Homo-oligomer: A and B are copies of this chain.
Amino acid sequence: MTMTNRKGASALPLNTILAGDCIEIMNSLPENSIDLIFADPPYNLQLKGELHRPDNSRVDAVDDHWDQFSSFAAYDRFTQDWLAAARRLLKPNGAIWVIGSYHNIFRVGASLQNQGFWILNDVIWRKSNPMPNFRGKRFTNAHETMIWASKSEGAKYTFNYEALKALNEGIQMRSDWVLPICNGGERLKDDNGDKAHPTQKPESLLHRVLVGSTNPGDVVLDPFFGTGTTGAVAKMLGRDFIGIEREAAYRKVAQKRLDGVRKFDREALQVSASKRAEPRIPFGQLVERGMLRPGEELYSMNGRFKAKVRADGTLVGNDVKGSIHQVGAAMEGAPSCNGWTYWAYKQGDQMVPIDLLRQKIRAELAN
C-alpha cells in the first residue's frame, strides 16, 4: 500500500483498493483530503419477477443482493450516510459526481442539495446502444443521469473548459454526452466468461469526467469501485485514485485490470489551457518596454473610435481617461470591455490587435 503525505499531513492510501463498507472506510480517512469523488451507488432497482426477451431468453437484470432496499426511507438513510462521509473527505474546492437512473437519482439529487452540495450541472449520458424495451410498454431507457456538484456554493471547483471544448472539436461541451455502453473487449469477464459486474461503466465516460474536472496529480476517490473503471482511467490520466469495494470478487477483477493499465506519457496529458491560467501582463508593460510609445494612437477593432496612449499605461480619448478596458467600455457604452481584444495599433496599413503584443511577452516569459 502506497502511503503519502500531502499538505495537511495525513496519510492517504493512494492507488489502492480498500476492502469493506464504504461509509466506515471513508470515515477513517483524513478530512479535506480528496479532490474529486466519483460515485456509482446501488440503484435500488425493483424488478418484480424475471424479465424475458421476446425469444424467451432471460435478461440478466441487476438483482444482486446489494441492490435490494426495503423502502425509499432505507435508501435515503443509506444515501445520506455515504454522502455525509464523502462530504467530510472532500477538500473545500473539491467536487463530486454521482451517476444513477430514475430509480435512485432523484433521491440522490435531493440529498445532495440538502447536505449543502451545490449542483453545477446534471449531465445526461446518452447511450448509443442501449438495451431495447422488450415489452413495448415504456420508452427505451436510453440514458443515465450524472450530477456534478461542488462541496458548497461559491467554491472554486476545477473545470477544464478549454480541454473539453477541444475534445468536442471547438464547440463548448454540452450537458448531454453521447457515448456507447461498455461492451466488447472492454467489458470484463469473470472466470466463467460471464460479465464480471452488472453495471460496468465505459472508460470513455470517466475520461471525460476526469479530464474535465481534475488536474494531473489530483486524488480521485470512488466509494463504489466495482471493477475499477474510475481507477483505471485515473491511472491512465496521471491522477491518483482510492477505491473502496465491499465484494472480494470485484476487487480481484479490478486489481488485475489496474495492474495492466499504463499511464499515458507526460506530453499527452497536457491539455489545452484557459487564458485565465496564463500570467497577467499589465498594459503598462507594453509602454515600458517600448512596444507602444506614449502619444501613439490606438483604434477600436470596429474602426469607430480612437484613443491615445499615455506614459502611465492609461488611455485618453473623447474626454475619457482610464485603463484600456474602461475607455473601451465608455466608448461603446457597454458595462464592460476587454481592452486587449478591443484595441489595435497601426503598422503600416495594417491594424494589429494589442493582444498580439501581450502574447509576445508571454512567449518570452515561457522560455
Are B288 and A207 in contact (CB-based, < 8 A)?
A: yes
A349 an interface residue at 8 Å Cβ cutoff?
A: no
Contact residues, A287-337 vs B (CB, 8 A):
287-290, 293-295, 308-314, 316, 321, 323, 332, 334-337
A147 an interface residue at 8 Å Cβ cutoff?
A: yes
List of B residues within 8 angstroms of A269 by Cβ:
294, 310-311
What's the Cα separation between A268 and B138 when bound, in Å? 24
Residue of B nearest to A120 (CB): B138
List of B residues within 8 angstroms of A10 by Cβ:
none
What's the Cα separation between A264 and B143 when bound, in Å? 32
The smallest C-beta distance from A67 to any residue of chain B, in angstroms, reads: 17
Partner of A282, one of B52, B139, B169, B288: B169
Contact A168/B271 with A110-B106, A141-B175, A211-B311 known, Cβ cut-off 8 Å: no
A237 an interface residue at 8 Å Cβ cutoff?
A: yes
Are B289 and A142 in contact (CB-based, < 8 A)?
A: no
Are A167 and B313 in contact (CB-based, < 8 A)?
A: yes
A123 an interface residue at 8 Å Cβ cutoff?
A: yes
What's the Cα separation between A323 and B56 when bound, in Å? 18
What's the Cα separation between A180 and B281 when bound, in Å? 13
Contact residues, A106-162 vs B (CB, 8 A):
106-110, 112-114, 119-124, 126, 128-130, 132-133, 136-143, 145, 147-148, 159-162
What's the Cα separation between A173 and B137 when bound, in Å? 11
Residue of B nearest to A121 (CB): B139
A359 an interface residue at 8 Å Cβ cutoff?
A: no
A66 an interface residue at 8 Å Cβ cutoff?
A: no
A354 an interface residue at 8 Å Cβ cutoff?
A: no
List of B residues within 8 angstroms of A11 by Cβ:
none
List of B residues within 8 angstroms of A280 by Cβ:
169
Are A290 and B204 in contact (CB-based, < 8 A)?
A: yes
Interface centre among A130, A143, A283 (most CB of B within 10 A): A143
List of B residues within 8 angstroms of A107 by Cβ:
106, 109-110, 113
**A and B contact pairs by CB, cutoff 8 A, 25 listed:** A102-B121, A106-B110, A121-B141, A124-B143, A126-B176, A130-B174, A133-B172, A136-B172, A137-B161, A139-B148, A140-B172, A141-B175, A142-B175, A143-B174, A145-B145, A163-B312, A167-B313, A168-B282, A169-B282, A169-B313, A207-B287, A268-B309, A270-B311, A271-B311, A272-B321
Q: For the complex of A and B, list the 4 residue pairs with the smallest distance between their C-beta atoms, beginning with the closest.
A: A106-B109, A167-B284, A268-B294, A268-B295
A-side residues, CB < 8 A to B, are 52, 56, 72, 101-103, 105-110, 112-114, 119-124, 126, 128-130, 132-133, 136-143, 145, 147-148, 159-164, 166-176, 178-180, 186, 202-204, 207-208, 211, 236-237, 264-265, 267-272, 274, 279-280, 282-285, 287-290, 293-295, 308-314, 316, 321, 323, 332, 334-337, 364-365, 367
Given A124-B176, A168-B282, A203-B290, 5 extra CB contacts under 8 A:
A139-B148, A143-B174, A166-B312, A180-B364, A208-B288
